[in-house]
Amino acid sequence: MTKRSAYASTALSIAGSDSGGGAGIQADLAAFTYFGVFGATAITAVTAQNPTRVSAVQAVSAEVVRKQIEAVLSAFHVGAAKTGMLFSAELVETAADALSAHPELPLVVDPVMVATSGARLLQGDAIQALQERLLPMARVITPNLPEAEILLERPIEGDKAAQEAARELSARYNVAVLVKGGHSNSANATDILCEDGRLHALTTPRIEVQTTHGTGCSLSAAMAARMATGCSILEAAMDAKAYVLGRLRACCRVGSDTWVMQAPTTLPREQVECHDC
């Protein structure tokens, strides 16, 4: 008798490994598991890091990255994929080439450029490749404010500017865009979602925590997990926002002065406010 799978679907993460376990592939797998989705991976780089610093990065060869993606997509019924740290133009091109054979696959692109600690995770010449090859392939992209500023080559200050940025990026790449507001100075944490020309503001309380390491990875992975089970982009964004809030509230100390986020015991969906802009 064949045992029925306990997983609702499978999601693929194409991203870097975080030795500290708080971001990258490790955070993605945690989000997939939380939402009942089996997690498959294609590792693009190995990093030596902890929640406060990145001390070394070693990229995986393009050929091995390609073979990882192809191995997963040839054997699993993948419901959605996400990309995180891609590091180089060559790896951006490799991911785009491998995924182009599966245009029906919902893709979440987190344009990871700089770590929370300030370390650069995307080489300068890779930004153009990201813009030309990968962003137009996405179903949704999830830049934070500094990443959106790099993509638009201008500062983004205030709620109206964030709304304009989301709308412009969505029109430029013909994709849904979630501009994350965690780096803003507002009293609440508000993300702006633009989908088909319509703007939504997703707001949660801003809380003081010892670390925010891995919030971006966690949000994009949670969106991919929910989309893998058939959720709409707006539903996925709201659940992902709740998931990140829950992880922030569940921060714990794991070293003398090292804090990490952990999975929430409950998903605080009621704390996510959504309204049209």
Catalytic residue check, 255: no
The pLDDT of 46-53, averaged and rounded, is 92
Of 94, 190, 203, 212, which residue is the catalytic one?
212
- Per residue in 77-135, pLDDT (tens digit) is 999 999 999 999 999 999 999 999 999 999 999 999 876 666 677 888 899 999 999 99
Catalytic residue check, 216: yes
Reported as type and span, the H/E element at residue 233 is helix 233-249
Please give the Cα distance from 147 to 112 (Å, whole number).
8
Of 47, 116, 217, 241, which residue is the catalytic one?
217
- Cβ burial of 104 (10 Å; 0-12, 13-18, 19+) is exposed
Of 10, 216, 231, 241, which residue is the catalytic one?
216
Report the mean per-residue pLDDT for the chain: 93
Q: What pLDDT is recorded for position 186?
A: 72
Catalytic residue check, 160: no
Half-sphere exposure (CA, 13 Å, Cβ side) for 3?
Answer: 3
Catalytic residue check, 214: yes
Please name each of the domains of the chain with its CATH number: 9-276 (3.40.1190.20)
Catalytic residue check, 215: yes
Contact assessment for residue 113 and residue 146, using Cβ atoms and an 8 Å cutoff? yes
Q: Place 17 in a pLDDT band, splitting at 50, 70 and 90.
A: very high
- Per residue in 242-266, pLDDT (tens digit) is 999 999 999 999 988 899 999 999 9
Catalytic residue check, 10: no
Contact assessment for residue 246 and residue 269, using Cβ atoms and an 8 Å cutoff? no
Please give the Cα distance from 143 to 177 (Å, whole number).
8
